[in-house]
Homo-oligomer: A and B are copies of this chain.
Amino acid sequence: MTLRKKAASITMAIVAIMLFITTAIASPPKYVFFFLGDGMSNTQIQATEAYLATKYAVDNGLETGPKAGELNSAYLLNPNNRLKMTQMPVAGMQTTYDSFALMTDSASSATAFASGVKTRSAVIGMDNTMTTSYKSVAQLAREHGMKVGIISSVPLNHATPAAYYASVANRNLYNSIATQMTQTGYEFFGGGGLISPEGPAQDGDTNNNIWNMLGDAGYTVLNDRTSIMELKNNPKDKVVCINPWLQDGQAMPYAIDRPETNLSLAEMTDVAINVLSGNTGTNGNGFFLMVEGGKIDWACHANDAVAVIGDMIDFDNAVSTALEFYKRYPDDTLIVVTGDHETGGMTIGHATTGYKAYYDKLLGQKNSFVYFNENQWPEYKEKYSQAVCENSDTLNAANSMITLIQNAFGLNWEELSTYQQDRLSWAWYHSICGYDKNDSKNAHLYGGYEPITVSITHILNEQASIGWTSYAHTGVPVPLFAQGSDAGTFSGFYDNTDIAKKLASIMDIADELPIVK
């Protein structure tokens, strides 16, 4: 007789008793966290864990594996090198396509998991004919007396956060979205800034001064680290916390570019928890907090794996903050972590490396592609463009470029194959002297990004064994992780609209979704 048989009757009796106890005290979770890694799939997750395992080995003076290109599974299995999200007890998967697109956009996907509605790409909080508006789980939570917080590392009126408070026919109606934001009454907004806060983003948009409207609605806008962090000691409802430095398009900087005067996503989450739960305890009716790691997606669009990994770690640290809160209120807290779609066609393998992985190659990249484009490339281009384009003293320019790439990305020219050197040389020339953007080869190779920079990250990434196939979103199903009250509901393989439906049911805020506004 095996242990299983011996234990069966005892276990089953205990389970039955526990179920009775559990059902007796069952009630909806009071504190609900929804973490959304924009562009995050299994690939972004596994690449980050491989990076952490490799960094662990290198930092501790260990070989990454017995042979070159190997990675010891002991480092990968070490919980300290794992993301918190993959260690949560419940996992599920969701299909991400929208009404008509196998590759969803972030507006329609956010509408799906915020309101339970399949819609057309670019539409927020409305059906695919853009005639009916629907309530999000955040709005329903609000109606049930819960406090609400919305955090995003990208602008607060970008598609994902917008789906939690706005209904618009097009995600680019930024002023309209921000106008609806001012009318939410939500207790907390935090992260990036606002797009078009003082006028229409495009034809058909509203023409409001959002800053004035926020003030009129009783909101305080903070944008320095000290004031924002002070909310932990003196929480205050109705605040808009904007990170001091907005790097690109009103977004928080990439985590790997972030100066100490800025806030991490985890710090912003920690502040939000304090605001939503109050200074001395927790809000009586609980809260719903949505946290988006939005720049995972932006880095994936640009095919910059190190920037992706930096923001993945930053995002997971925010999850960690929620898990700390969970420890205090395990019976009343639900944490859900998922992505809205994969971005970039990122993979964990490349034709040039086969079965080998060299994530140590990634450790030399110091900043994101954006940082390089804005802070290092212009000076180089200014200095050498005449020489290169007129074909005079190009050797000096090339050597200077090789040094620059080595310093900024850790990419060693001597280690590159002829094919890689050729691609990099053409990209360098194209970035300096211009190129035909309509040429099909150039469009494929650069995707509209700065040729030299996207070629550097492509080659650096493939050296590590990371491939990319697109500059857009892709259609692969993405994982979901859950922990806490009713988390088991999220096991299985389901559609993204089911996420909103499961949340509404668990939170007891609606009998069924969608609910018309």
A429-476 at interface with B (beta carbon < 8 Å): 439-441, 443-444, 447, 462, 465, 467-476
Collect the chain B residues with CB atoms within 8 Å of residue A105's CB.
355
Q: Decide: A508 and B5 in contact? CB cutoff 8 A.
A: yes
Query: Contact partner of A505 among B4, B46, B73, B470, CB < 8 A?
Result: B4
Does A70 reach chain B (CB closer than 8 Å)? Answer: yes
Does A384 reach chain B (CB closer than 8 Å)? Answer: no
Q: Decide: A469 and B467 in contact? CB cutoff 8 A.
A: yes
Q: Determine, out of A171-179, A343-351, A389-397, the stretch whose residues face the partner at the interface.
A: A343-351
Q: Decide: A50 and B475 in contact? CB cutoff 8 A.
A: yes
Q: Decide: B418 and A440 in contact? CB cutoff 8 A.
A: yes
Q: Decide: B16 and A20 in contact? CB cutoff 8 A.
A: yes
Task: Pick from A72, A357, A474 the residue with the most CB of B within 10 Å.
Answer: A474
Collect the chain B residues with CB atoms within 8 Å of residue A493's CB.
86-88, 91, 479, 481
Complex alpha-carbon distance, A503 and B464, angstroms: 35
Does A71 reach chain B (CB closer than 8 Å)? Answer: yes
Complex alpha-carbon distance, A509 and B1, angstroms: 10
Task: Quickly give the copy total for this chain.
Answer: 2
Collect the chain B residues with CB atoms within 8 Å of residue A101's CB.
65, 70-71, 355, 357
Does A183 reach chain B (CB closer than 8 Å)? Answer: no
Q: Shortest beta-carbon distance, A31 to chain B, in Å?
A: 18
Q: Shortest beta-carbon distance, A416 to chain B, in Å?
A: 9
Task: Pick from A26, A45, A472 the residue with the most CB of B within 10 Å.
Answer: A472
Query: Contact partner of A8 among B3, B26, B70, B356, CB < 8 A?
Result: B26
Does A420 reach chain B (CB closer than 8 Å)? Answer: yes
Number of interface residues of A (CB under 8 A): 99
Q: Decide: A469 and B349 in contact? CB cutoff 8 A.
A: yes
Complex alpha-carbon distance, A177 and B105, angstroms: 50
Query: Contact partner of A511 among B2, B16, B41, B505, CB < 8 A?
Result: B2
Does A261 reach chain B (CB closer than 8 Å)? Answer: no
Does A235 reach chain B (CB closer than 8 Å)? Answer: no
Collect the chain B residues with CB atoms within 8 Å of residue A350's CB.
345, 469-470
Which chain B residue lies CB-closest to A512? B3
Collect the chain B residues with CB atoms within 8 Å of residue A468's CB.
469
Does A90 reach chain B (CB closer than 8 Å)? Answer: yes
Query: Contact partner of A93 among B20, B93, B97, CB < 8 A?
Result: B93
Complex alpha-carbon distance, A361 and B480, angstroms: 32
Does A15 reach chain B (CB closer than 8 Å)? Answer: yes
Does A43 reach chain B (CB closer than 8 Å)? Answer: yes
Collect the chain B residues with CB atoms within 8 Å of residue A344's CB.
349
Query: Binary interface profile of A, 1-43, with partner B (CB < 8 Å = 1, else 0)?
Result: 0111100110011011001100100101000000000000111
Complex alpha-carbon distance, A469 and B349, angstroms: 7
Collect the chain B residues with CB atoms within 8 Å of residue A342's CB.
347-349
Given contacts A467-B469, A469-B468, A470-B467, contact A348 B476 (CB under 8 A): yes
Does A510 reach chain B (CB closer than 8 Å)? Answer: yes
A246-298 at interface with B (beta carbon < 8 Å): none
Complex alpha-carbon distance, A93 and B344, angstroms: 21
Query: Contact partner of A419 among B46, B98, B444, B473, CB < 8 A?
Result: B444
Given contacts A46-B475, A101-B71, A351-B447, contact A95 B76 (CB under 8 A): yes
Query: Contact partner of A121 among B46, B93, B98, B355, CB < 8 A?
Result: B355
Q: Decide: B91 and A73 in contact? CB cutoff 8 A.
A: no
Query: Contact partner of A42 among B67, B93, B439, CB < 8 A?
Result: B93
Given contacts A66-B100, A441-B422, contact A19 B23 (CB under 8 A): no
9 CB contacts below 8 A, A to B, read A4-B508, A16-B16, A72-B99, A93-B479, A342-B347, A347-B474, A352-B443, A354-B471, A357-B475
5 tightest Cβ-Cβ pairs between the two chains A and B: A467-B469, A349-B474, A345-B347, A12-B23, A417-B440
